[in-house]
Amino acid sequence: MSTLVAKQNVVVELLRISPLVDDLAERFSAAGHALYLVGGSVRDAVLGQPGGDLDFTTDARPARVLELLDGWAEAVWDTGIAFGTVGAVRHGVQVEITTFRADSYDRVSRNPEVRFGDSLTDDLKRRDFTANAMAIDMSTKKLVDPFDGMAAVRERILDTPSTPEESFADDPLRMLRAARFVAQLGFRPAPRVVRAMTEMAGELARITPERVQAELTKLITGSRPRLGIELLVRTGLAEQVLPEVPGMSLAIDEHHQHKDVYEHSLTVLDQAIDLEKRDDPDAAPDLVLRLAALLHDIGKPATRRFEDGGGVSFHHHEVVGAKMARKRLRALRYSKDVIEDVAQLVFLHLRFHGYGKGEWTDSAVRRYVTDAGHLLSRLHKLVRADCTTRNKRKAAALRRSYDDLEERIARIQAEEDLARVRPDLDGNEIMRLLGIQPGPMVGKAWQYLKELRLERGPIPHDEAVAELLNWAREQGVTPPE
Say whether domain 251-419 belongs to CATH 1.10.357.
no
Model confidence at 108, pLDDT cuts 50, 70, 90, reads: low
> What string of H, E and C letters represents the secondary structure of the chain?
CCHHHHHHHHHHHHHHHHHHHHHHHHHHHHCCCCEEEECHHHHHHHHCCCCCCEEEEECCCHHHHHHHHCCCCCEEECCCHHHCEEEEEECCEEEEEEECECCEECCCCCCEECCECCCHHHHHHCCCCHHHCCEEECCCCEEECCCCHHHHHHHCEECCCCCHHHHHHHCCHHHHHHHHHHHHHCCEECHHHHHHHHHCHHHHHHCCHHHHHHHHHHHHCCCCHHHHHHHHHHHCCHHHHCCHHHHHHHCCCCCCCCCCHHHHHHHHHHHHHHHHHHHCCCCCCCHHHHHHHHHCCCCHHHHCEECCCCCEECCCHHHHHHHHHHHHHHHCCCCHHHHHHHHHHHHHCCHHHHCCCCCCCHHHHHHHHHHHHHHHHHHHHHHHHCCCCCCHHHHHHHHHHHHHHHHHHHHHHHHHCHHHCCCCCCHHHHHHHHCCCCCHHHHHHHHHHHHHHHHHCCCCHHHHHHHHHHHHHHCCCCCCC
For residue 257, pLDDT over 50 is answered with no
pLDDT tens profile 181-212: 999 999 999 999 999 999 999 999 999 999 99
CATH architecture of the region 156-241: Orthogonal Bundle (1.10)
pLDDT tens profile 271-280: 999 999 998 8
CATH of the structural domain 3-155, one choice from 3.30.460.10, 3.40.50.970, 3.40.50.1470, 2.40.33.10: 3.30.460.10
Average pLDDT over residues 236-262: 78
Confidence (pLDDT) at 336: 97
- Domain residue spans of the chain: 3-155, 156-241, 251-419, 422-474
Model confidence at 421, pLDDT cuts 50, 70, 90, reads: low
User: Which range among 145-154, 245-254, 437-446, 466-475 shows the weakest confidence by mean pLDDT?
Assistant: 245-254
Confidence (pLDDT) at 313: 73
pLDDT tens profile 304-335: 887 776 677 788 899 999 999 999 999 999 99
